[in-house]
Structure 1
Amino acid sequence: MFWFNQGLCALPVFLVIWSSCTFIVPYLIAIFRGDVDVVFPYISDTGALPPESCVFGMMTVITACAGIATIYARYKYVEKLSEETNVVSPKLNKVAFWVGIASCLTMCIVATFQETTVTKVHDIGAVLFFFCGVLYTVLQSIISYRAYPYGSSMAVCYVRTVMATIAFLALFPTVICASFVNQTRLHRNPLDKDYPYYMASAVNEWIVAFSFICYFLTYIHDFKMFTLRVKTEYEEDS
């Protein structure tokens, strides 16, 4: 049996690959069409104009669905682990689950409401997406330490902590510097006064996004160890 056929490990693998393509493919299309600057545009800039906006929206919805499935599978895995070992609080597991679901749903808001058309809704969705995504990684890192040694190895716990820390530290300059950016054009002028803030915000945005994505790579080993089954029960009318 190939490693990707073991348990549910194909789920986080698909999520990481597809979500990476969700950011990269629209970026390449936007660069080819000359819609954005080559050097570190905002992720949202690469999905602001058609046809890349259509591709970005479609791929983001699939990413959100895959993310919800992965987060739910992780939740059920920790729940089963807690039933047998009582090492993780069910409340903590549920909070992490709903925070993760919120990050996936707000991701759809970011893709549906482009920054050049409905700016306020887009910005609110982006802030909630990054905040919930980073908080999810932090909570899952805490869960990983509490579940040790029944869950992941200590090395995996360290890796998750590093990724969560990177995302957490990059989140603040992303949001703070963005508040100083007044320019709304997709092509940025290096001579503009807010250009340094724009670059700092854009670079950290990419760091947060890919830290969040790569975090799910650490799920691969865990997902090899379990499967989920749907049980159907039919009740006849009395």
Structure 2
Amino acid sequence: MTKKGNLHIFPSLVCVIAPVTFLITLALATKLGHVAMLPYISDTGNLMPESCIFSQFLNLTALCMLMCVYIRYLQVKSMATFKTPIGPRWDANDISWYMGFLACLGMDIVANFQVHNIYQVHYVGALLCFVGGSVYFAFQTMFSYHMSKVDDSKYLFYIRCILCALAFIFCTSAITSGVISDFGYTGTDSSKWKKDDGGYKWHLVSTSSEWMLAIIQSALVVSFFPEFRRISMYSPKFEIRGVNDVQSENSAPKEDA
């Protein structure tokens, strides 16, 4: 089996591709007049041509993030000396894996279902991505506390504690102020929200909170970097019924008659 290192490239890719994508789509959408000042992240990838860039690279980000979730799951499973059972068949690491998977799925949904096309599906994806992502990182913070007892990584626990607290604050702020602003909105195009459309201040609170949440969750992904640098994986070994069996028989030493 081949040994694979450099796993820290996955959190690095997530934290480079996502911000660069958002900045490019924001610049394009603003230049083309598709959005007003400080829009939601999703609004920057709502119309062509920026929607093509948004979808392509956010899909790639979701794939890299899923790899981070999987590597972290295996790390906790192999390294942790603690058990946190949740029912007869579940433990916290299993729950965190599914939450991480749902967050990545939500990111993929956000990338492919633009808000002005199928907004119901888009909002479900956004909730999975941001709320599910915040819950996922809360689990990772808990794991960091226990794992710091067996390696020198207590600083990561404190960093993740602060970032997770901020993530939940901004997640709550983005959702709450977004709902309030929608009730007061009287305009016709929410991607070009104007001051006289109603609920404008609450809208700015919501959009700025969403951008801050995206930055904080990116920082939480970056926190995997020092741990993933010390991890190596081995490529899987495949066995094909009817092929490997024949090869094994042919390679076996034959007895003299």
TM-score (norm 2): 0.84
Which of 70, 73, 89 aligns to 2:71? It is 73
Partner amino acid, structure 2, of 1:227: S
* Residue 191 of structure 2 corresponds to residue 186 of structure 1: yes
Aligned to 2:27: 28
SS at match of 1:191: helix
* Residue 9 of structure 2 corresponds to residue 14 of structure 1: no
What is the CA-CA distance between 1:236 and the residue it aligns to? 4.2
> Matched residues in 1 for 2:159 and 2:226: separation?
13
- Do 2:105 and 2:128's aligned partners in 1 also have CA atoms closer than 8 Å? no
C-alpha RMSD of the superposition: 1.8
Structure 1 stretches of at least 4 aligned residues deviating more than 4 Å after TM superposition = none
Aligned to 2:163: 163
TM-score (norm 1): 0.90
Aligned to 2:248: none
Higher Cα Rg: structure 1 or 2? 2
- Do 1:189 and 1:195's aligned partners in 2 also have CA atoms closer than 8 Å? yes
1:18-74: per-residue Cα shift (whole Å, max 9, x none)? 12122222111112222112x311001101100101110111110000000111011
SS at match of 1:103: helix
Structure 2 segments unaligned to the other structure (5+ residues):
86-90, 246-257
1:111-137: per-residue Cα shift (whole Å, max 9, x none)? 211111111111122122111011011
- Do 1:88 and 1:147's aligned partners in 2 also have CA atoms closer than 8 Å? no
> Matched residues in 2 for 1:27 and 1:9: separation?
28
What is the CA-CA distance between 1:152 and the residue it aligns to? 5.4
Q: Which moved more, 1:184-193 or 1:44-53?
A: 184-193
Partner amino acid, structure 1, of 2:12: V
Q: Which moved more, 1:197-206 or 1:87-96?
A: 87-96
1:1-238 equivalences under 5 Å are: 7-37=6-36, 39-82=37-80, 86-89=81-84, 91-151=91-151, 153-180=153-180, 181=182, 182=185, 183=187, 184-237=189-242
User: CA 1:193–1:139 in 2, change beyond 3 Å: closer, same or farther?
Assistant: same
Partner amino acid, structure 2, of 1:21: V
- Do 1:22 and 1:63's aligned partners in 2 also have CA atoms closer than 8 Å? no
Query: Percent identity over the alignment?
Result: 26
